[in-house]
Structure 1
Amino acid sequence: MAQDSAQQAPVAPTTPARALLPLIVPALVVGVLASLLYIGVSEVAEQLQHVLWTNLPDALGIGRYSVLWMLVMLTATGIAVGLVVWKVPGHAGPDPATTGLEAVALPPAVLPGLVLATGLMLAGGPSLGPENPIIAVNVGLALWAGRRLVPRVPGGVWGALAESATIGALFGTPVAAALLISEALAARKTKGALWDNVFAPLAAAGVGAMTTTLVAHPTFDLHLPPLGRPGWADLLAALVLASLAALLGMTAVYLFPSVHGAFSRLGHPMLALPAGGLVLGLLAAVGGHLTLFKGLDQIGVLAADPEGWSAGQFATMAVVKLAAMLVATSCGFRGGRIFPSVFIGVAFGLFAHALVPAVHPALAVAAGVLGMLLAITRQGWVSLFTAAILVASPAILALLCIASLPAWLLVTGRPQMQLRADGTPVR
């Protein structure tokens, strides 16, 4: 008996409630403010997008999504963002190819330029989302204000609160933030009980999510027909599609250093970003206007009519969007890769359904998104969560958990879609 007791795993020490309670108010404040900043940037970008892509071409008598207008607008967006990166103090932050979801603390002087570059990118049409720069801005603001207003709170806490709050706001639920925090804590081998460590960040994420839900009413559910009782054929489809989507994503990952290096050799943001914009315009001419922008509104259009495009059209949109995300990140547009990856996964899943109608569309979409996100982000829990909430079908969740295993074996230990300062990929 004594030997059994000695072999028991050590119990992580817990934090007393009196140490956690003072973190509640900072978490609530950061949660609300982080969400409002995200909503504000998104709303301004949407209004500018309407002007650029609706009012202006209508006034000029040009087709809103004609090839000419897409080429003009994306090249002009490259010029505008290039001017911000070149002339605005702080140069809109670090090279986006070197950043991920875990933001570094940026000086306050850098943040206005990063917000401006992000807003112009979102309105102009490049295939990136707001997640990475908005997280970086919220982390920078939280650290700057927190250290001055509440100096007794450690600086690392402010960064964790802002990052969690922003992720909660982006997804409209704190679950994604909790999963991401847990994954980060495991990677860092953080000491202490898990729920003590996630207590304050989860509070910030919950408030951030509720603020977004009450103000902006976001939804990720694609309203696809739910999957009934899954069978062996469904399991096989999930395994194959998640793995194939992961392999498709890895093609962009392996091309990333070369494409980034090609744009870097241009030597100046006023060359690299306009050139990238022109390439994005040419890609949009091939893939159509649905391959523009971050992709969340566009996946709703695809899912509303899964039979509305041929297998070849879905495949073209998936490949073009993947190439557009690769180019946009490589040439210097400020943005994240999660939202466009979701579009690619949805288009890939609907391609599989169009090619083999026996594959259920909800299962195909979820498996495609899962595999693509695993390849691009290497965030296992977030990939599973995002794939699951898109289809809102509990029967699919077990299939996704199993399908994630071979897909993960295809991506783990391999280069990531993030570069070091010397241009080599992070592993």
Structure 2
Amino acid sequence: MTETPAAPTTTRALLRGSVPALGVGVGSALTLVALSGLAAWLQQRIWHDLPASWGVPQDSPWWTVAVLTVTGVLVGAVVRWVPGHAGNDPATSGLVAPPLPAGTVPGLALALVLGLAGGVSLGPENPIIAINVALAVWLLARPGSGTAAAGPVGLATAGTIGAMFGTPVAAVLVLTEALAEHGRGEGRLFDRLFGPLVAAGAGALTMQLIGAPTFSVDVAPYGEPRLWDIVAAVVVATCAALLAYLAVLSFAPVHRAFHLLRSPVLALGLAGLVLGALGAIGGPLTLFKGLDEMKELAERADELGWLALLGIAAVKTVALVVASGAGFRGGRIFPAVFIGVAVGLAASGLVPAVPAAVAVAAGVLGAVLVVARSGWLALFMAVVTVGDIALLPVLCLAVAPVWLAVRAMPEMLLPAAGDDRPEFAALSGAGPKHPA
């Protein structure tokens, strides 16, 4: 039997859909601001006020170990006993995933805030997207309403990505790739992206009005393009990709080792102890999600030297594997960007002929390409991190050989039990009409 072609989207339908898109975009940004602000407040109490009141140096190694260990135990307790168990195992969830039941939101939010404040080397992206998607589906696709979950999932995903990265471009690139790979809908692509684009724009504008920090680091602006820059970019991106590939190779064994403990309290408590030891070795710059730390890294690059920068990148890579493999709730893109920045600064310090902007952008390109397995997102993050669109032609040429190597590598993502990892099924309309 032949399928009946889908009716074309009307202008009235697009206008009608833009209203919830605006609401979801603004709401997604406000959720990000609220949870990030709460985590920042708690971080200030834990890492500054409390040790100061006790006369303990803020960068004391034993304080770092103690805080990360306690953080692991607390997050483990949330995963074990709070209803919903703080959502899915992060090792099995990508940036875009099917919606979680709304009942998991409080536990996931608590686990995220504790991890961010406690210094865990993960970003907020995956949990924030999951929270906003769950809330959007719960509000807009209630059971029995007959509304498919695909629309709210796309809106909340786009709104959150737009807010987090400060521009709707990142959201459109991610969703375009998702629809191209898994989409089954009919009609013009821009019609299908119209609502998510509005949501992403609303989220990004909300963050800009609030004055949220950006991803860009302070490096010397890029000058006149040279053929040598393309070669340098390929070499640096390859080095960053190889370091990230080591993380991918160790991801499954580390995940398996921690989960042999069965109890999330024990597993995450032990992981917290390991992360504390890594933080004591690598210093405060290797803690937390990495957004503020990579800016400080760029400011102190000359002082630290290229060998120390490589050491920091290596420690951060191990911390990323331990944190994500053990089950801390968080995303892998923020630390991947930090790793890329550290590798790029090290390359520029080792070979001064390589412009810092080229090296940093290429480092981010290689690291994100392996960790996120998205060429569009890697290119976008590389340009945003250095804040120079003039680098885009160089990066577009540099990404080609690196992608040919990366595409054959395993992903930093494990299959969930009894699941074929349909990360984008809900976006294409193949997912459920409401979360189970």
Q: TM-score range by the shorter chain?
A: over 0.9
Q: Deviations over 1:103-141 (max 9, x none)?
A: 221111111000000000000001000000110010001
In structure 2, the partner of 1:309 is: 304
Amino acid at match of 2:178: A
1:291 to 280, 286, 293: 286
2-structure distance, mates of 1:385, 1:339: 13
Whose RCO is larger (CA < 8 A, sep 6+)? 2
Per-residue deviation, 1:100: 0.7
Q: Which deviates more, 301-310 or 130-139?
A: 301-310
Amino acid at match of 2:315: V
1:367 to 362, 366, 371: 362
Distance change in 2, residues 1:13/1:107 (3 Å): closer
In structure 1, the partner of 2:210 is: 215
In structure 2, the partner of 1:200 is: 195
Task: Give the total of aligned pairs.
Answer: 417
The answer to whether the aligner puts 1:144 opposite 2:99 as a matched pair is no
Distance change in 2, residues 1:425/1:358 (3 Å): farther
2-structure distance, mates of 1:75, 1:49: 15
1:415–1:425 CA contact under 8 A, matched in 2: no
The answer to whether the aligner puts 1:154 opposite 2:148 as a matched pair is yes
2-structure distance, mates of 1:232, 1:424: 46
2:322 to 317, 324, 327: 327
Counterpart secondary structure, 1:90: coil
The answer to whether the aligner puts 1:188 opposite 2:166 as a matched pair is no
**Superposition misfits of 4+ residues, deviation over 4 angstroms:** 422-427
In structure 1, the partner of 2:254 is: 259
Q: Give structure 1 stretches of 5+ with no counterpart.
A: 1-11
Q: Which deviates more, 74-83 or 303-312?
A: 303-312
1:124 to 102, 118, 128: 118
In structure 2, the partner of 1:389 is: 384
1:87 to 72, 76, 81: 81
2:335 to 328, 340, 346: 340
2:301–2:309 CA contact under 8 A, matched in 1: no
1-structure distance, mates of 2:410, 2:79: 27
Q: Deviations over 1:283-314 (max 9, x none)?
A: 11111110000000001111123312111100
1-structure distance, mates of 2:189, 2:179: 8
In structure 1, the partner of 2:163 is: 169
2:415–2:421 CA contact under 8 A, matched in 1: yes
Per-residue deviation, 1:33: 0.7
2-structure distance, mates of 1:94, 1:124: 21
The percentage of counterpart residues that share the same residue type is 50
2:233–2:358 CA contact under 8 A, matched in 1: yes
The answer to whether the aligner puts 1:407 opposite 2:395 as a matched pair is no
Q: Which deviates more, 216-225 or 309-318?
A: 216-225
1-structure distance, mates of 2:54, 2:222: 47
In structure 1, the partner of 2:50 is: 56
Q: Deviations over 1:247-299 (max 9, x none)?
A: 11111101111010000111110110010000001111111110000000001
2:91–2:413 CA contact under 8 A, matched in 1: yes
2-structure distance, mates of 1:289, 1:200: 41
Per-residue deviation, 1:395: 2.6
2:313–2:342 CA contact under 8 A, matched in 1: yes
2-structure distance, mates of 1:35, 1:150: 28
1-structure distance, mates of 2:147, 2:167: 26
Distance change in 2, residues 1:384/1:119 (3 Å): same
Q: Deviations over 1:5-50 (max 9, x none)?
A: xxxxxxx985221221110111011011111001000000000000
In structure 1, the partner of 2:28 is: 34
Per-residue deviation, 1:379: 1.2
Counterpart secondary structure, 2:302: coil
Counterpart secondary structure, 1:307: helix
2-structure distance, mates of 1:150, 1:161: 20
In structure 1, the partner of 2:429 is: none
Amino acid at match of 1:20: L
Distance change in 2, residues 1:266/1:357 (3 Å): same
